[in-house]
A and B are shown apart, each in its own frame.
Chain A
């Protein structure tokens, strides 16, 4: 029997809520690996992240300070956790924490913790606020956008755009607005939650489609699976989706990864117009929460990411099953007060 490689992998994003983080599907995927024997350390920010209590998937859980408390606080805490758990690899799954972890990559490596993340340049240039320049640099179709730094900027929107427009937070949240009043309301809500700038984007009519992909950092696409959301929550999250056989989407993905030499997981959010053009709405610099669909369709991308990070050989995926569907569901877990008490008072469980 093949000897499985023993690893300790720390994962964030255990918030399997109606706005789900990718942590649990990532863990589920690497647990299914035939070549890896993984101990999973969950890193959480809130005491009610459901993944904390999924004890058959997560071996140990630690609270982390929010990235807004500064990288020193995060690294101090990680150092304590590492001392106890000997983490081999860290897979962060939130956009908002990526900056901290990418900036700390060297320190983490010195501690003995590997990551497999995009570079700071890659992270910055695909940022929603920089999407125009990104499109121009790589000759890609992107909706026009403008950053809103002040409330007064809202008046300038109709100089550049026709309503409706999309109003987006720099990390999360996107709303459609049909007039200035609606933009203002979204601006206030989004800026309070995610800070500035708030981004206004041209509204592109069409069907939203997505791709989950993994780049090796050398310009090669290790795997990519396109999907269309079939059931969307009021937060715009996929609650059901289906894999597509779409060479245009795959070609676009390969092009982006080749041009940017992308390293790590990626989600492309695309809008397909009626005349079959693909606009890039967003490039999310991490694995998306629906990644388990790709696993079910034949591409275990989280496992491949772990192997790449650990310097193991990974053969690029060349196929996947079309027409595979995921349907998400909610499930009420019954938790013992003692577990909640432990994570709340000791910050670990």
Chain B
């Protein structure tokens, strides 16, 4: 799973979908996850990176991660084909 290629994520956490004109803002953690997804990192790699950096265990992270992915999915930001 990865973020669609043309989705732009700025340093400030501003996310822009140029094909629909929709824009969103994400917090620092969301931005980190988005950037890891853009780099096509696996779930394991993302979970390791985030749990090492923040005070959260793997099972706690998984729940938040799934919610986050669901939201990205809802806004058509995920590329399932590529």
Does B66 sit at the interface, judged by CB under 8 A?
A: no
Q: Is there contact, CB below 8 Å, between A244 and B19?
A: yes
Does A228 sit at the interface, judged by CB under 8 A?
A: yes
Min Cβ gap B71→A in Å is 16
Residues of chain B within 8 A of A230, CB atoms compared = 21
Does B82 sit at the interface, judged by CB under 8 A?
A: no
Residues of chain A within 8 A of B21, CB atoms compared = 209, 227-228, 230, 241-244, 323
Does B6 sit at the interface, judged by CB under 8 A?
A: yes
Interface flags for B13-26 (1: CB within 8 Å of A; 0: not) read 00010111100000
Q: Which residue of B lies closest to A242 (CB)?
A: B21
Q: Which residue of B lies closest to A325 (CB)?
A: B21
Min Cβ gap A169→B in Å is 28
Residues of chain A within 8 A of B18, CB atoms compared = 244-246, 322-323
Which residues 241-283 of A have a CB within 8 angstroms of B?
241-246, 272
**What separation, in Å, do the CA atoms of A243 and B6 have in the docked complex?**
14
Which residues 86-145 of A have a CB within 8 angstroms of B?
none
Residues of chain B within 8 A of A182, CB atoms compared = none
Q: Which residue of A lies closest to B16 (CB)?
A: A323
Residues of chain B within 8 A of A344, CB atoms compared = none
Min Cβ gap B9→A in Å is 13
Does A207 sit at the interface, judged by CB under 8 A?
A: yes
Q: Which residue of B lies closest to A274 (CB)?
A: B76
Secondary structure type dominating chain A contacts: strand
Q: Which of B8, B18, B19 has the most CB of A within 10 A?
A: B19
Min Cβ gap B77→A in Å is 14
Residues of chain B within 8 A of A244, CB atoms compared = 18-21
**What separation, in Å, do the CA atoms of A314 and B1 have in the docked complex?**
44
Interface flags for A218-253 (1: CB within 8 Å of B; 0: not) read 000000000110100000000001111110000000
Residues of chain A within 8 A of B6, CB atoms compared = 245
**What separation, in Å, do the CA atoms of A316 and B49 have in the docked complex?**
48
**What separation, in Å, do the CA atoms of A278 and B17 have in the docked complex?**
18
Q: Is there contact, CB below 8 Å, between A228 and B20?
A: yes
Which residues 19-53 of B have a CB within 8 angstroms of A?
19-21
Min Cβ gap A228→B in Å is 4
- Contact partner, A246, options B8, B16, B19, Cβ 8 Å: B19
**What separation, in Å, do the CA atoms of A323 and B23 have in the docked complex?**
10
**What separation, in Å, do the CA atoms of A246 and B8 have in the docked complex?**
15
Residues of chain B within 8 A of A209, CB atoms compared = 21
Q: Which residue of B lies closest to A243 (CB)?
A: B21
Q: Which of B8, B16, B20 has the most CB of A within 10 A?
A: B20
**What separation, in Å, do the CA atoms of A11 and B52 have in the docked complex?**
65
**What separation, in Å, do the CA atoms of A313 and B18 have in the docked complex?**
32
**What separation, in Å, do the CA atoms of A215 and B82 have in the docked complex?**
35
**What separation, in Å, do the CA atoms of A281 and B19 have in the docked complex?**
19
Give residues in B with beta carbon < 8 Å to A.
6, 8, 16, 18-21
Give residues in A with beta carbon < 8 Å to B.
207, 209, 227-228, 230, 241-246, 272, 322-323
25 contacting pairs across A/B (C-beta < 8 A): A207-B20, A209-B21, A227-B21, A228-B20, A228-B21, A230-B21, A241-B21, A242-B21, A243-B21, A244-B18, A244-B19, A244-B20, A244-B21, A245-B6, A245-B18, A245-B19, A246-B18, A246-B19, A246-B20, A272-B20, A322-B18, A323-B8, A323-B16, A323-B18, A323-B21
Other than A227-B21, A241-B21, A244-B21, give 14 A-B pairs with Cβ distance below 8 A: A209-B21, A228-B20, A230-B21, A243-B21, A244-B18, A244-B19, A244-B20, A245-B6, A245-B18, A246-B18, A246-B19, A272-B20, A323-B8, A323-B21
